[in-house]
Amino acid sequence: MTTPRDGLAVLGPALAFALLMSNYVCSSKAQIKPEAFPLAALAAGPATYGVDDGTHITLWSRAATQARADALVKAYNATHKNHIDATYVPTDDYQTKVGAAAAAGGLPDLFSADVVFMPNWTSAGLFTDITDKIATLPFAANIAQGAINVSTWKGRKYGLPFVVDLSVWMYNKKLFKAAGLDPNKPPTTLAEFAADARAVQKLGGNVHGTFFGGDCGGCEVFTWFPIAWADGETVMNPEGTESHLNSAENKGIYATFRSLVEDGTALMPDTKTETGPTWTGYFPKGNIGIMPMPASLQGMANSSLADADIGVTPIAGLKGGQATLVGGDAIGISRDSKVANAAWNFLAWMVSDEAQIEVVAKGGNVLARPDLANNKYSAADPRLVIFNTVAAKGQTPFAKAFGATFNDPQGPWLVLLRDAVFGDASKIDADNAAINASLNP
Amino acid sequence: MTPATPDHRAAPAAWWRLTWWRYRQLMGVAYAAPTVFFVAVFFITPLLLVARMSLSSWPLLTGNGGLNFPKNYLSIWKNALFGPAVVFTIEYTLIVTVLLIGLGLGLALLVQERGRWVDMLRTVILLPVSLGLAAASLLFWGFYSPSIGPINPILEQLGLIHDPISFLGTSLSALLSTSFLIVWKYTGLYMLILLVGLQAIPDDLFEAAALDGASRIQVFRHITLPLLRPSLALALILCVTGSLLAFDQFYILTKGAPDNSTVTVVQLIYREAFQKQNLGTSAAISIMVLVALLVLNTVQFRYLRSSEPGLKR
């Protein structure tokens, strides 16, 4: 020990780095050749529904939407000769895994993407063009267009809606009643939302008017963008290269939430510190008056929140209107797939009446086919009808650099949102310039 | 090893000895070969590839796009997060190093005596070391969470606090909360390293000092500390290097929040590669960090070694 072996000690950290880097190395062996799409295989196959001949098809999806994705996969395997081998990857690792597989030419036959990441992957040529196949489906026009729009790159379509997620406002009917509000009259503007939250806040104790994930960029994309859309306003240009997040409309939205934070209506300090993992866990605890939530009733009711007390209403704008963000996952056939026609068989079945009603609607989830909103399962619960009708008024934001701009915890959108709501609101215009820079790398 | 003698009676032995020597040389090469192989495959090759990446336009999804030096390196200086990340990483390293080495030394002195309770204490302090850092971070994330964490409700029940503590809510509290996790997790390791060093010091030195009438503080300053220097050097280098490369704990606990105040340099490397999908700039930052660590480690060794002979007096 008297003469430390400096060679080894210097090598130690260096080796750690090399190992860290070897991760990148693996993902960079091959380059993507967009011309290598198995187009010939596609053109030769049967039209409309593909082939069901006992082919084994590999599928990757992220863990966040596993329950709903797996319900479709299981139902397909039970009713078809083809067999889907599904792998669910931890959500935080999913982008990395797909990136590495894309570079190494090892993508599965089918893989899904969080809809906001679709442009990034379609523009990099990871999917097979299915424009013509979609066109042959008799119900093509009735499929939720949001997911298809974000899966479209240079006029060609690469994906279909796999799992649909929407944002809505949820309110606690019991607390509304206690605060003297009519539980059957949910807010129809953002101002009414704030007024109702303040009324509930007056109940005191551990009850709070509202809550939102104030340190989570993705949460506010999901729940604030629709407020602007409801007023007919925009958050970006359609190409996703120019931000409108410093518009008068958007500044008005930030100001409303800022006032809810400043007068203590929003639960603090949680609202300021929530980075995303637990933001949907607050409402089911039964002490939040009204807040934006994903449109799913699965597992919401519990000992402190009765199912009958969960009120649902569409997100409204400053002036009125209704909108939602159609999120969730889109799915497409990878450019590496050798069994594109068998893979298409799953996709075509997935958006059919049969799968949508007997699997998706039966599970109490939002349909990828708004035209089927009124079905035997939704008839039993009017909240499901609200989910499905608002889906038709939904949008999905489109930008090639979406993740790095809006979801990245170090991204520029989170800086703007925190300045606007908690910090120095005069920086909004400068922060918006940073968003524009990020959208155009 | 003596060379073969001219004595013919010794010739068979000399012949045998020569072969044995050559055999040993071959054995040496054979023993070293796996290491050479692994270093070449897992260290040298990736390092060269990273170096090449740092000189090239290399998007994550589309692969090598050709040389673009020095664009990746220049983009580091334009990255508004880089400066604050370097400052924060150094700040964190200083806090954690002082705490870990200080506490590790204190505990090592405390548990160097033998005894039943001492064995138990050593085990208790050492246990967290066996836990993975990611698992430990997730555990503490749960403890600190305002939504599911048990610490605030307990403190409120005990009447110690009125309003919940926001463990990760401000930049200072996030830094301290993360440092606490690291201290809890790693103090045992540094205690162990320093304990081994302490036990290597011959007892007669302490006895002689006691006979000379040295006080406890004098013994610590003039015997324990100088003779512990090699162990301290090892602990210091491990600690500084590890802290400068901090990633897991911040990635899981804070994600850089609040307001990008807890972003470390390695988090930036990860962000460039997987959020911004630019392996080129990511590799460029990696190379910068590698160079910085090489320089720092060299300086640390020079300093610690050059002062050794003086202390042996």
**Residue B119's CATH number:** 1.10.3720.10
Contact B286 A21 (CB under 8 A): yes
State whether B276 and A404 contact (CB < 8 Å): yes
Rounded to the nearest integer, the mean pLDDT of chain B is 88
Q: Which of B166, B277, B283 sits opposite A269 (nearest CB)?
A: B166
Chain B hits for A4, Cβ within 8 Å: 230, 233-234, 237, 301, 304-305
Q: Is the pLDDT of residue B8 over 80?
A: no
- Percentage of chain A lying above the pLDDT 90 cut: 64
**Are the C-beta atoms of A371 and A141 separated by less than 8 Å?**
no
pLDDT for A433 equals 96
Per the model's pLDDT, the better-predicted residue between A70 and B2 turns out to be: A70
CA–CA dist B172, B178 (Å, integer):
10
Comparing A64-73, A148-157, A186-195, A298-307, which segment has the lowest mean pLDDT?
A298-307
Confidence tier at A297 by pLDDT (50, 70, 90): confident
- The total domain count for chain B is 1
**Amino acid of residue B292:** A
Rg, C-alpha atoms of chain A: 23
| Amino acid B13: pLDDT | 54
> Residue B2 has what DSSP assignment?
P
> Can you tell me the mean pLDDT for A43-72?
84
Residue A30 confidence (pLDDT): 37
Q: How many helices (H) and strands (E) does chain A have?
A: 18, 12
Look at residue A361 in the predicted model and tell me its pLDDT: 87
**Residue A41 pLDDT > 80, yes or no?**
no
| Binding-face residues of B in 83-142 toward A, CB within 8 A | none
What pLDDT is stored for residue B16 in this prediction? 60
Q: Are strands A394-395 and A324-325 parallel, antiparallel or unpaired?
A: parallel
Q: Is residue B228 part of a domain?
A: yes
pLDDT band at A100 (very low <50, low <70, confident <90, very high): confident
> What digits encode the pLDDT tens for the residues B222-258?
999 989 988 999 999 999 999 999 999 999 999 898 9
pLDDT at A29: 34
pLDDT for res B18: 65
Cβ atoms A140, A348 nearer than 8 A: no
Residue B33 lies inside a defined structural domain of this protein: no
Q: Is residue B39 part of a domain?
A: no
Range from A36-50, A284-298, A351-365, A419-433 that averages highest in pLDDT: A419-433
Q: Confidence band (pLDDT; 50, 70, 90) for A357?
A: very high
The answer to whether residue B16 is domain-embedded is no
Which tens digits make up the pLDDT trace of B27-81?
A: 999 999 999 999 999 999 999 999 999 999 998 888 888 999 999 999 999 999 9
Q: Which residue has the higher pLDDT, A306 or B147?
A: A306
Cβ pairs A/B, distance under 8 A: 166
| Contact with chain A for residue B148, Cβ under 8 A | yes
More confident residue, A315 or B110: A315
Q: Which of the residue ranges A220-234, A386-400, B283-297 would you say has the lowest mean pLDDT?
A: A386-400
Q: Which of B58, B274, B286 sits opposite A17 (nearest CB)?
A: B286
Measure the CA–CA gap between A176 and A255, rounded to whole angstroms. Answer: 24
HSE-CB at B129 with a 13 A cutoff on CA atoms is 15
Q: Three-state DSSP class for A172?
A: strand
Of all residues in chain A, the one with the smallest CA distance to B304 is A4
Range scoring the smallest mean pLDDT among A343-352, A395-404, B81-90, B178-187: A395-404
* Residue B297 located in a structural domain: no
**Minimum distance, in Å, between the CA of residue A36 and any CA atom of chain B:** 13
Q: What is the SS3 assignment for B155? A: helix
Record the tokens describing residue A369, joined without a space. Answer: 């086919």
Using alpha carbons, list the distances in angstroms from residue B194 to A256, B10, B105. 57, 52, 6
Which among A13, A124, A269 is the nearest to B169, CB-wise? A269
In Å, how far is B27's CA from the nearest CA of chain A? 22
**First and final C-alpha spacing in chain A:** 51
Would you state the pLDDT for residue A57?
96
Token pair of A111 as six digits: 């893989």
> Which of B255, B266, B287, B299 is the best substitution to test chain A (most A C-beta atoms within 10 A)?
B255
For residue B63, give the nearest of A17, A30, A404 by CB distance. Answer: A30
Helices (H), B40-199: 45-54, 71-78, 82-111, 116-126, 133-144, 151-157, 171-199
pLDDT at residue number A39: 39
Nearest to A105 by CA among B63, B275, B48, B67: B63
The Cα–Cα gap between B210 and B122 comes to 27
Q: What is the mean pLDDT of residues A282-302?
A: 88
Q: Residue B117's pLDDT band (boundaries 50, 70, 90)? A: confident
% of chain A surpassing 70 pLDDT:
89
- Tell me which residue of B182, B163, B159, B153 sits closest to B254, measured CA to CA: B182
Could you give the CA distance from residue A97 to residue A103 in angstroms, rounded to a whole number?
A: 10
B143 occurs within a structural domain? yes
Model confidence pLDDT, tens digit, residues B147-177: 888 998 899 889 888 888 889 989 999 999 9
Ramachandran angles phi, psi of A248, nearest 5°? -60, -40
Mean pLDDT for the stretch of residues A316-324: 95
Q: Is the dihedral of CA B144, B150, B154, B157 positive or negative?
A: positive
Domain range for B228:
82-262
Q: In which element (H, E) is residue A301 found?
A: none
Contact A19, A94 (CB under 8 A): no
SS3 call for B152: helix
Say which residues have a Cβ less than 8 Å from residue A79's Cβ, sequence separation at least 6.
none
Is the separation of the CB atoms in B277 and B300 below 8 Å?
no
- Contacting residues of A for B197, CB less than 8 Å apart: 1
pLDDT of residue A340 exceeding 90 = yes
Nearest alpha carbon to residue B65 among B74, B53, B50: B53
* Greatest pairwise CA separation for chain B in angstroms: 96
Q: Among A5-19, A209-223, A363-377, B237-251, where is mean pLDDT lowest? A: A5-19
**Residue A32 predicted with pLDDT over 60:** no
The dihedral formed by the CA atoms of A424, A425, A431 and A436, expressed in degrees to the nearest 10:
170
DSSP A41: H
Lowest mean pLDDT of A88-92, A108-112, B113-117, name the range.
Answer: B113-117
> Per the CB < 8 Å rule, is B43 touching A18?
yes
Q: Which two tokens stand for residue A354?
A: 């049969």
| Tokens 């009713």 belong to residue | A79
Domain membership of residue B58 (yes or no) is: no
User: Whole-model pTM?
Assistant: 0.82
Residue A157, strand partner residues: A152
**Residue B183 falls inside a structural domain:** yes
Q: A6–B164: do the CB atoms touch at under 8 Å?
A: no
Q: For A231-287, what is each residue's pLDDT tens digit? A: 999 999 999 999 999 999 999 999 999 999 999 999 988 999 998 888 988 999 999
